[in-house]
Amino acid sequence: MTETNLTATLLVSCPDQRGLVATVAEFVFRNGGNIIHADQHTDTGEQVFVQRVEWEMADFGIPRESLPAAFQPIADSYGMNWSLHFSDEIPRIAVLVSREGHCLYDLLARRRMGELSADIPIVISNHQNLEKAATDFGAEFFHLPVDAATKPHQEARILEKLREWRIDLVVLARYMQILSPEFVQGYPHSIINIHHSFLPAFAGARPYRQAYQRGVKLIGATAHYATAELDGGPIIAQDTVRVSHRDTEATMVHKGRDLEMVTLARAVELHLEHRTIVYGNKTAVFD
């Protein structure tokens, strides 16, 4: 990417107050930037303001390496939580998976087709059956089996691999292990999980069986940021499909797999494009 089409994206959340939109726009304008996307929202219940602003860096008056220091006084004056990203940055993803490979195959294929602006250098699994899937797409595969006795050691080895491969985002593509709070806290808002249910309904294990036994007429999938609370993190994307009394648990599983792939890929794409802002246990998603 050349300097002529390089863009910067600023994500902001802070207490709602007067002048926020004007102040950010004036900062970009005063330094010669051309805003190409801008969106904001005020959560009146929480009294929180969130904003996403993207501008062209060509002819911008502040070098990219100096931008954080230049914006910090504004952030301090409004009590902002903020982050800054550049369009030539290529994040590195680690995919964690267990036995079921549909979400893994989908992410790897989308990456190969250029639909995800990221690298997927490693796949980590507690089973061995998806090794060929990973290596066929050029990813290194690490088999790290786990049981109750070895779980702390296994998580330490996973973290070691994430650091070694300089991973920015962890994607749980039907990884059927519960991560410890300590693990999750090491990657805040950087672990995306796909749950095969329309949360908050049917959290935990075997959601399709729970849905079948309840006789629901809709099943769904939910992609969310992982937190210490099981299946309770901020939601990024969800989708549903109709089912009926004719469906069995097996047909619900079959229908649900398509939802899981699309919903997870959508959430990963939104994260990579810096279109999500987490505040409290909610997300603002700027489509």
* Contact yes or no for 219/206 (Cβ under 8 A): no
Q: Which of 231, 239, 247, 287 is catalytic?
A: 231
3-state helix, strand, coil in the chain (%, to 5): 35, 30, 40
DSSP state of 64: G
Active site residue 136: no
* Contact yes or no for 166/193 (Cβ under 8 A): no
C-beta pairs of 43-49 under 8 Å, 24+ apart in sequence: 43/16, 43/279, 43/282, 43/284, 44/16, 46/279, 46/280, 46/282, 47/15, 47/16, 48/13, 48/14, 48/15, 48/16, 48/279, 48/280, 49/12, 49/13, 49/14, 49/15, 49/16, 49/17, 49/20
Closest alpha carbon to 197 in 218, 178, 180, 181: 218
* Contact yes or no for 230/206 (Cβ under 8 A): no
Could you tell me how far CA 239 lies from the centroid of its own chain? 16
Residues assigned a catalytic role: 231
